Chain A
């Protein structure tokens, strides 16, 4: 028998108090860990999104001005199109290295293949430079007119089939997660197939009219030559095509980047509040818990226990409860993180890609250490008080 054994037995004996303390810790650590994951996840999401976008400029109809973030970050469909011939004209513009059109169809709720809605995008396999580079050569080589490349949120795996607007598509590749709805909820189909579907929707009564003319597009992704000033090109495009809106790829993430410190500041304030609340909770609960067990502690001293033994015992009990609470808190946070991933993205309106496993482990360690320190500091004062009380006082005046 040692103090660890005694601490463990006490925790088991005083189950209700132990449970109450552990639950407080569970909630605090879950909030802290989730906060860290979201904060780091947005940073990672932004980096991944910037890398994934591949383009320097995006062109869209003027009508979608102001909705660019919701389209290109969240993947919210806008049924505004412009004539795709402009793409060929722009291709000849000096300073533009590559340009590729994409057409967005209406988002469809598809419980068959996704946890939420699916964003159908038509891409041009001949000119595309934003999607195909992320697919392995082997997969690229076998993409046909009825093949689909899907985002990470699409549940069906490669080799399975999806059905949209009366057409059946085979999934030939799945993209890695980006934390951005525009990519993760997307189903990429060859642009010609999309036009065919749109044509058929006009004649097939069972299909909802897609209202898309052949050759019309939603956006064009532009890659500039090295050293070319994006603003200059934007100006040229806007002057030549006043009905078009341009946005710099960096501009899409700029707003989120500006928002991020604010989010992190709120998170810091929130965590500070939770930490202070936890500190007081643990101090008060431990104080009351020790008062309740004052006689027991006095007895331990009477039976030969030193002040240090008592202090160690109370802090050991606290540490064990915090560690149990931490473990439960991490499990809770991981569950919430998994279950509410898409809800968090839509609420924050920011790209969110949870950090790598090693960073998540670091987050667990930081959260647990912080809560352990707060908990032990909170438990120390009540433990110090009880350890320094005369054994006779503890025994005689026990509550």
Chain B
């Protein structure tokens, strides 16, 4: 399903988005009627306390979980209308993920980890994938670590490898869930600088979830999530 031409520059469109989890202790409404529009090339930051629903919202946008209610369109495509095969392909092609934890596959080397989304997509030749992966590893500053297994890398290096991996399929949207959560200040700045550089140079749209207000303020838009509700914050008040 395609949205109207007027929304052509809109990359993410979420309407009345809700997510309710059923737990043994009752229902938890993690996301409550959220509306969000993110235009192509924007860098959007979402802040909020732990348990406010930030990660759930990011996963709803990434198609990793199905909303209880509401609609999500990514680049004009209604995610709710896609089957497993289509949504997997869509995720592989359009969206890059940077998670809040060490998210490399432990049995694969750095190079193999970076290549993995492209191999799963089965779209490009092996040579093309390897060339791009090596270029990305160099770009994030991990040259020389191609053959290393994740446990040989520091937390910051693992995060940089995950960034390289998120870029392998040249996605239009990158969802970064507290990518600097457990990193030291120096590495944190280095990672966020890299994300902004990618946003600026390659016009990749970013939605960044973070606790760090200072880093969050560097985006085009700043949203705050509280008890499942999303509100836009004025950056001037920070």
Q: Contact check, B59 vs A304: say whether CB atoms are below 8 A apart.
A: no
Interface-central residue, A1, A13, A14, by most chain B CB under 10 Å: A1
Q: Contact check, B84 vs A307: say whether CB atoms are below 8 A apart.
A: yes
Which residue from chain A places its CB closest to the CB of B107 in the assembled complex? A13
Q: Contact check, A304 vs B85: say whether CB atoms are below 8 A apart.
A: no
Q: Which of A304, A390, A392 contacts B121 (CB 8 A)?
A: A304
Within 8 A of A (CB), among B87-130: 88-89, 91-93, 97, 99, 101, 103, 105-108, 112, 115-117, 119-121, 126
Q: Which of B62, B103, B126 contacts A299 (CB 8 A)?
A: B103
Q: Contact check, A303 vs B117: say whether CB atoms are below 8 A apart.
A: yes
Q: Contact check, B65 vs A392: say whether CB atoms are below 8 A apart.
A: yes
Q: Which of B55, B85, B106 contacts A306 (CB 8 A)?
A: B85
Stretch at the interface among A4-12, A38-46, A59-67, A377-385: A4-12
Q: B52 at interface (Cβ–Cβ under 8 A)?
A: no
Q: Contact check, B88 vs A305: say whether CB atoms are below 8 A apart.
A: yes
Q: B45 at interface (Cβ–Cβ under 8 A)?
A: no
Bound complex: CA A306 to CA B55 (Å): 22
Q: Contact check, A391 vs B64: say whether CB atoms are below 8 A apart.
A: yes
Residues of B within 8 A of A390 (CB): 64-66
Within 8 A of A (CB), among B53-82: 55-56, 59, 62, 64-66
Which residue from chain B places its CB closest to the CB of A7 in the assembled complex? B107
Q: Mark A306-330, 1 if CB is under 8 A from B, else 0.
A: 1111000000000000000000000
Q: A2 at interface (Cβ–Cβ under 8 A)?
A: yes
Q: A302 at interface (Cβ–Cβ under 8 A)?
A: yes
**Known interface pairs A302-B97, A304-B91, A392-B59; A13-B64 also in contact (CB < 8 Å):** no
Which residue from chain A places its CB closest to the CB of B63 in the assembled complex? A391
Which residue from chain B places its CB closest to the CB of A303 in the assembled complex? B117
Q: B134 at interface (Cβ–Cβ under 8 A)?
A: no
Residues of A within 8 A of B65 (CB): 390-393
Q: Which of B56, B59, B85, B97 contacts A303 (CB 8 A)?
A: B97
Q: Contact check, A1 vs B112: say whether CB atoms are below 8 A apart.
A: yes
Residues of B within 8 A of A308 (CB): 84-85
Q: B169 at interface (Cβ–Cβ under 8 A)?
A: yes
**Min distance, Cβ B130 to any Cβ of chain A, angstroms:** 10
Residues of B within 8 A of A131 (CB): none
Which residue from chain A places its CB closest to the CB of B151 in the assembled complex? A13
Q: B165 at interface (Cβ–Cβ under 8 A)?
A: yes
Q: Contact check, B106 vs A302: say whether CB atoms are below 8 A apart.
A: no
Q: A300 at interface (Cβ–Cβ under 8 A)?
A: yes
Q: Which of B55, B103, B117 contacts A304 (CB 8 A)?
A: B117
Q: Contact check, B119 vs A1: say whether CB atoms are below 8 A apart.
A: yes
Residues of A within 8 A of B107 (CB): 6, 9-10, 12-14
Chain B: residues with Cβ within 8 Å of the partner, total of: 32
Which residue from chain B places its CB closest to the CB of A393 in the assembled complex? B65
**Known interface pairs A304-B91, A305-B88, A391-B65; A299-B105 also in contact (CB < 8 Å):** yes
**Known interface pairs A299-B105, A306-B85, A392-B64; A2-B99 also in contact (CB < 8 Å):** no
Which residue from chain B places its CB closest to the CB of A1 in the assembled complex? B119
Q: Contact check, B97 vs A309: say whether CB atoms are below 8 A apart.
A: no
Residues of B within 8 A of A303 (CB): 91-92, 97, 116-117, 120, 165
**Min distance, Cβ A324 to any Cβ of chain B, angstroms:** 16
Q: Contact check, A1 vs B84: say whether CB atoms are below 8 A apart.
A: no
Within 8 A of B (CB), among A17-39: none
Q: Which of A9, A296, A302, A306 contacts B64 (CB 8 A)?
A: A302
Q: Which of B56, B99, B108, B117 contacts A6 (CB 8 A)?
A: B108
Bound complex: CA A113 to CA B64 (Å): 73
Residues of B within 8 A of A172 (CB): none
Q: Mark B172-208, 1 if CB is under 8 A from A, else 0.
A: 0000000000000000000000000000000000000
**Min distance, Cβ A320 to any Cβ of chain B, angstroms:** 13
Q: Contact check, A304 vs B64: say whether CB atoms are below 8 A apart.
A: no
Q: Contact check, B119 vs A306: say whether CB atoms are below 8 A apart.
A: no
Q: Which of B84, B105, B119, B169 contacts A2 (CB 8 A)?
A: B119
Bound complex: CA A392 to CA B55 (Å): 10
**Min distance, Cβ B152 to any Cβ of chain A, angstroms:** 13
Q: A301 at interface (Cβ–Cβ under 8 A)?
A: yes
Q: Contact check, B112 vs A304: say whether CB atoms are below 8 A apart.
A: no
Residues of B within 8 A of A300 (CB): 105, 116, 120
Q: Contact check, B169 vs A296: say whether CB atoms are below 8 A apart.
A: no
Q: Contact check, B85 vs A1: say whether CB atoms are below 8 A apart.
A: no
**Min distance, Cβ B177 to any Cβ of chain A, angstroms:** 10
Q: A395 at interface (Cβ–Cβ under 8 A)?
A: yes
Q: Which of A6, A302, A309, A393 contacts B62 (CB 8 A)?
A: A302
- Which A residues lie at the B interface, using CB under 8 A? 1-2, 6, 9-10, 12-14, 295-296, 298-309, 390-393, 395-396
Given contacts A303-B116, A304-B169, A307-B84, 6 further A-B contacts (CB under 8 A): A6-B108, A9-B108, A13-B107, A301-B64, A303-B92, A390-B66
24 A-B interface contacts by CB (under 8 A): A1-B112, A2-B119, A9-B108, A10-B107, A12-B107, A13-B106, A13-B107, A296-B105, A296-B106, A299-B99, A300-B105, A300-B116, A303-B92, A303-B116, A306-B84, A306-B85, A307-B84, A307-B88, A309-B120, A391-B59, A391-B64, A391-B65, A392-B65, A395-B99
Q: Which 3 A-B pairs have the closest CB atoms?
A: A304-B92, A13-B107, A392-B65
